[in-house]
C-alpha cells in the first residue's frame, strides 16, 4: 500500500516503514454539503471531516447558538412580564448549552489541526481556504 504522507510503497499493513504514519487510517475528505445536524455526530466521526467542512459546520453551530441565546433572553424577559412555565425556560437554556458544547467540540478539533480556533468564520475566510484547496488539487 502507498503511504498517504511520504508516498512510500509499503508491503506490510499498519504503519509506513519510512515515516511511521498509519496506512489504513482514512483521511478527511471534503463533503459537497454540510448541514447543522451533522454536529450531533460523535467525535470519532467528526475528526474525519475535512477542515473546511469543520469550519462550515462551526459557523452553522455558532449561528444556532447565537439564535438560542437570543431566544433564551427573550423568554426570560417575557417570563417576568407574563406567566411562563419553567419547562419553556429550561428548554431554551438546554438548547443554548447544547450548541455551546457542540461548538467547543468542533473548536477543539480545529485547534488540534490549525493551532487556533478562528474568532469569526466569514465568507472571506472560507473563500480564501477554498481557493487554496482548489489550487492544491490542480497541482496534485
Rounded CA gap, 14 and 65, in Å?
Answer: 41
Q: In whole angstroms, give the CA distance from residue 102 to residue 39.
A: 7
Q: What gap in Å lies between CA 2 and CA 23, rounded to an integer?
A: 7
Q: How confident is the model at residue 88 (pLDDT cuts 50, 70, 90)?
A: confident
Check residue 71 and give its pLDDT.
87
pLDDT given at position 102: 96
| pLDDT digit string, tens, across residues 103-137 | 999 999 999 999 999 999 999 999 999 999 999 98
Q: Quote the CA–CA distance of 18 and 140 in Å, as a whole number.
A: 22
Contacts of 26 (CB under 8 A, 6+ apart): 48
The pTM assigned to this predicted structure is 0.84
* pLDDT (tens digit per residue) in 45-63: 999 999 999 999 999 999 9
Cα distances from 8 to residues 16, 20, 103, in angstroms, run 8, 11, 37
pLDDT digits (tens, 9 = 90+) for 69-83: 998 888 877 766 666
End-to-end C-alpha distance for the chain, whole angstroms: 19
The pLDDT of residue 79 is: 63
**Distance (Å) of CA 101 to CA 71, 105, 140:** 18, 6, 37
Residue found by looking up cell 468542533 in the block: 106
- Count other Cβ atoms within 10 Å, centred on residue 37: 9
Cell reading at 137: 488539487
Amino acid at each position: 500500500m502507498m503511504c498517504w504522507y511520504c508516498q512510500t510503497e509499503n508491503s506490510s499493513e499498519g504503519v509506513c516503514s519510512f515515516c511511521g504514519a498509519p496506512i489504513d487510517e482514512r483521511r478527511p475528505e471534503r463533503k459537497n454539503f454540510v448541514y447543522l445536524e451533522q454536529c450531533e455526530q460523535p467525535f470519532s466521526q467528526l475528526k474525519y471531516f475535512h477542515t473546511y467542512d469543520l469550519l462550515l459546520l462551526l459557523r452553522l453551530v455558532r449561528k444556532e447558538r447565537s439564535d438560542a441565546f437570543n431566544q433564551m433572553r427573550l423568554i426570560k424577559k417575557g417570563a417576568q412580564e407574563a406567566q411562563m412555565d419553567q419547562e419553556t425556560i429550561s428548554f431554551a437554556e438546554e438548547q443554548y448549552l447544547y450548541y455551546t458544547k457542540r461548538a467547543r467540540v468542533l473548536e477543539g478539533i480545529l485547534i488540534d489541526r490549525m493551532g487556533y480556533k478562528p474568532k469569526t468564520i466569514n465568507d472571506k475566510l472560507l473563500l480564501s481556504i477554498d481557493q487554496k484547496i482548489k489550487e492544491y488539487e490542480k497541482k496534485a
